[in-house]
Structure 1
Amino acid sequence: MSLTPPVAGPVQDAWLVIPLFNEATVIAEVVAGALGTFPHIVCVDDASTDGSAVEARRAGAVVVTHPFNLGQGAALQTGISYVLQATDAAYVVTFDADGQHQVQEAAQMVQRARDEDVAIVFGSRFLDKRTKPGFLRRIILWGAVWITNQQTGLRLSDAHNGLRVIRRDAAQSLRLEQNRMAHATEIVLQLARTRLPWVEHPVHILYTDYSRKKGQSLMNSINILIDTIVK
């Protein structure tokens, strides 16, 4: 399939929601790199201890802070609730803080949601061969995808990709309670229950030394599989 052309100019009708925990060394670069395309960004600081909130705010993001560490699922729910309650945005875009997602692909996904009138666009690293997760990680993630598909009734190729575009009506249905990696399955399950139209979009996940150390290690992939099974 051909990629949707990038949108021209800033995406004014969407907000990036970025869960944030101890990413002070990279978050300013991530926010600054996104602002030219997404002028509306909210970072949910999940009780970081390294000044992440200060760096995100200084870079130009709105920052909402959790007084205690509640987990990524809770941070996403806080960010989504903020967008729904404080703005009239048409779309929520979930985006990771560690630099592994690409802003232009997020913009393409918003444009595709508009063009095809779909409520959810799931990013997938397995629709093409650009992402190189490694053999063992690929097998583990495929296992998590199979389990998630059995639980949700959808047929996704990548169920644990943090890059998603969610239209406002679909976002209003989310009530996330899983705070660890199982929240990714929970999002898919709750969105599936809306019966709103969805598509997958090919994305290139950038595995860097930093992202592997922070959250994309092989052990973390194993934790994803365990959380998916026992959620």
Structure 2
Amino acid sequence: MENNDTWLVIPCYNEGSVIQDVIENARKTFPNIVAVNDGSADDSAERIHAAGAHLVNHPVNLGQGAAIQTGVEYARMQPGAEYFVTFDADGQHQVKDVVAMLERLRTEPVDIIVGTRFGRPRKEDDQVPLIKRIVLKTVVMLSPRTRRLGLTDAHNGLRVFNKKAAMDLNLRMNGMSHASEFVSIMDEKGWRVAEQSVDILYTEYSMSKGQSLINGVNILADGLLARKLP
């Protein structure tokens, strides 16, 4: 089956209203999906199971970093797994972008391709909210590693990477700071890194969950943490 060597890893926390649709849509192209239910209090686990994905449960909420690590560890043990994708549960990421990134990963000498919202000239209809744009660009300015790797959007959760990177990955920071830790691992392990312009779908639902003031403060705190790293 096409893309049978690829696993999507979806961390999920209280996404019961959308996760089944997200998985069912992705499975039209990528049959292998593991969703980590990170201690959700809603029906996320049931929705994941109904959508046909592999389900791994955290009994309590441990944070997105922990859920990604659990999912990657599960996926890299599966027979034939060669390529891995971190994919958000809220519907912001698009399968077409994964297809394009995966095609590059299969043919170019890179270990990981990271999505970026800032790879194209800005247009009037750009969906990235202004505050979000300012926060994300500030985080890049604060992070020497991010700049050294040539990344412009370190907090983009859409990443495609190969088996070498999957085996090297060992995230220990569970919350927002896992994004900076991901960048640190890329740098420390000497992964060959590239970026890919992607389209983020900002729906009313995703905006209500991911664009709050507290979320922005957490991302900036993550950037300050990254600045302390070599």
TM-score normalised by structure 1 residue count: 0.91
RMSD: 1.7
Name 1:171's counterpart in structure 2.
166
Indicate whether 1:17 and 2:9 are aligned: yes
Match of 2:35 among 43, 46, 50: 43
Contact 1:45 1:64 survives alignment (8 Å): yes
Deviations 1:67-125 (A, max 9, x none): 11100000000000001123331111000000000011111111110111311000001
Map 1:50-61 onto structure 2 (within 5 A): 50-61=42-53
Query: How far apart are 1:222 and its partner, in Å?
Result: 2.6
Determine helix, strand or coil for the equivalent of 1:166: strand
Distance verdict in 2 for CA 1:134–1:215, change over 3 Å: closer
Name 1:107's counterpart in structure 2.
99
Name 1:118's counterpart in structure 2.
110
Determine helix, strand or coil for the equivalent of 1:22: coil
Contact 2:110 2:191 survives alignment (8 Å): yes
The code of the aligned residue for 2:36 comes to: V
Name 2:192's counterpart in structure 1.
197
Name 2:136's counterpart in structure 1.
141
Contact 2:22 2:91 survives alignment (8 Å): yes
Name 1:228's counterpart in structure 2.
223
Distance verdict in 2 for CA 1:188–1:167, change over 3 Å: same
Contact 1:145 1:160 survives alignment (8 Å): no
TM-score normalised by structure 2 residue count: 0.91
Query: How far apart are 1:151 and its partner, in Å?
Result: 6.4
Determine helix, strand or coil for the equivalent of 2:168: coil
2:187 and 2:93 map into 1 onto residues whose CA distance is 24
Query: How far apart are 1:195 and its partner, in Å?
Result: 1.3
Query: How far apart are 1:221 and its partner, in Å?
Result: 2.3
Determine helix, strand or coil for the equivalent of 2:143: helix
Determine helix, strand or coil for the equivalent of 1:225: helix
Count of equivalent residues: 223
Percent identical residues:
47
The code of the aligned residue for 1:62 comes to: H
**Mean Cα deviation higher: 14-23 or 87-96:** 87-96
Contact 1:73 1:181 survives alignment (8 Å): yes
Query: How far apart are 1:150 and its partner, in Å?
Result: 4.2
Determine helix, strand or coil for the equivalent of 1:86: coil
Query: How far apart are 1:174 and its partner, in Å?
Result: 1.1
1:36 and 1:226 map into 2 onto residues whose CA distance is 38
Name 1:6's counterpart in structure 2.
none
2:2 and 2:212 map into 1 onto residues whose CA distance is 33
Map 1:211-222 onto structure 2 (within 5 A): 211-222=206-217
2:40 and 2:28 map into 1 onto residues whose CA distance is 26
1:34 and 1:150 map into 2 onto residues whose CA distance is 32
The code of the aligned residue for 2:25 comes to: G
Name 1:159's counterpart in structure 2.
154
Query: How far apart are 1:196 and its partner, in Å?
Result: 2.5
Query: How far apart are 1:215 and its partner, in Å?
Result: 1.9
Distance verdict in 2 for CA 1:149–1:158, change over 3 Å: farther
